[in-house]
A = this chain, B = another copy of it.
Amino acid sequence: MKNKLNITIVGLGLIGGSLAASLKNVYGTKVSIVGIDNNARVLKQATQAGFFSEVSVLKKSKMIKKSTVVFVAAGIDSIPLLFEELGKIDFEKKIIISDVGSVKAKVFKQALKKLPTTFDFVGGHPIAGTEKTGFQNLVPGLFQGKPVFISGTRARKESVSFIKKIWKSLGSSVYSITPEEHDKIFAYLSHMPHVLAFGLNSLTRKNLSRSKIVKYGGTSYKDYSRISNSSEDLWSEIFLSNRKNLINGIKDFRKYLDKLENLLKHDSKDKIQKHLKS
């Protein structure tokens, strides 16, 4: 990339912060990053981190206008309002808005509704979250070797290519997919795993003391605890935003449990084994 990259990241949590750190690692002085957040503590942390050219709340940013790409890395529920605010900015160059949200159909719908048609939109989703949140937990190489989905685009071909190129330069494998297929796949690969982990931990907390859980939990339980340490705030938004697919997943899961319960009641080891393998 010949010219200096001017990138804005709106939302400096784990993903936004890691994206800034990763871009700075790869592009060094060739990238200028504006960091936007509405939390004073986060803005202070971001200023201290030193990889931003400007750190600001959205309405007060002076440099955002110079951006060629804005990555929205905020919670799903804040996206409509952020798109509206971004739509009012008089960007100096043709602008590409992208995002990192865990659901894609809803975000794309909002982009079509809220962003001016002169803005290019390229939806994205890096599969790189952890159970941690917040700028203080950022990981500079977080996207290295991780899949990134490009999903839901209303943009010139070169804008789509440009976003893909950025992710590839951070070491990610980039896939294109429709928002509908994305949301169906991740209902199973990410949202249901979180539903089950939150559920198991709720059940366990109701039945066992905290000290027993900590002392006695084996490897399998610890994996669940890790997942269910994810933010309930973030995940309740994701669950609601992918409601239809998730309800289907829950229905299917209930069938699985019903059948297992029935087999357990009738003592059939072979059938249980077959059911587990199904």
A210 touches B (CB below 8 Å) = no
* Cβ B267 vs Cβ A240 within 8 A: yes
What is the CB-to-nearest-CB distance from A200 to chain B, in angstroms, rounded to a whole number? 6
**Known A130-B219, A276-B232: A250·B243 in contact at CB below 8 Å:** no
A265 touches B (CB below 8 Å) = yes
* Cβ B247 vs Cβ A264 within 8 A: yes
* Cβ A189 vs Cβ B216 within 8 A: yes
A257 to B199, CA, bound (A): 8
Neighbouring B residues of A256 by C-beta, 8 Å: 199, 202-203
Closest to A149 in B: B216
A162 touches B (CB below 8 Å) = no
A139 touches B (CB below 8 Å) = no
What is the CB-to-nearest-CB distance from A165 to chain B, in angstroms, rounded to a whole number? 20
* Cβ B199 vs Cβ A253 within 8 A: yes
Q: Copy number of this protein in the oligomer?
A: 2
A5 touches B (CB below 8 Å) = no
* Cβ B224 vs Cβ A240 within 8 A: no
A254 touches B (CB below 8 Å) = yes
What is the CB-to-nearest-CB distance from A150 to chain B, in angstroms, rounded to a whole number? 13
Neighbouring B residues of A196 by C-beta, 8 Å: 196, 199-200, 224
* Cβ A272 vs Cβ B236 within 8 A: yes
* Cβ A190 vs Cβ B239 within 8 A: no
A63 touches B (CB below 8 Å) = no
A29 touches B (CB below 8 Å) = no
What is the CB-to-nearest-CB distance from A128 to chain B, in angstroms, rounded to a whole number? 7
Neighbouring B residues of A41 by C-beta, 8 Å: none
Residues of A194-251 at the interface with B, using a CB-CB cut-off of 8 Å, are: 194-200, 202-208, 212-213, 215-221, 223-224, 226-227, 232-233, 235-237, 239-240, 243, 246-247, 249-251
* Cβ A193 vs Cβ B189 within 8 A: no
Neighbouring B residues of A202 by C-beta, 8 Å: 256, 275-278
What is the CB-to-nearest-CB distance from A172 to chain B, in angstroms, rounded to a whole number? 12
A260 touches B (CB below 8 Å) = yes
25 cross-chain CB contacts under 8 A: A127-B216, A147-B218, A173-B215, A175-B216, A185-B208, A185-B216, A188-B203, A189-B221, A190-B218, A190-B220, A190-B221, A192-B200, A193-B224, A196-B196, A197-B220, A199-B253, A199-B256, A203-B256, A236-B276, A239-B260, A240-B264, A240-B272, A243-B265, A246-B264, A254-B254
Enumerate the 10 nearest inter-chain pairs by beta-carbon distance, A residue then B residue, closest first.
Answer: A223-B223, A236-B272, A232-B276, A127-B218, A236-B273, A193-B220, A199-B256, A198-B276, A196-B196, A189-B221
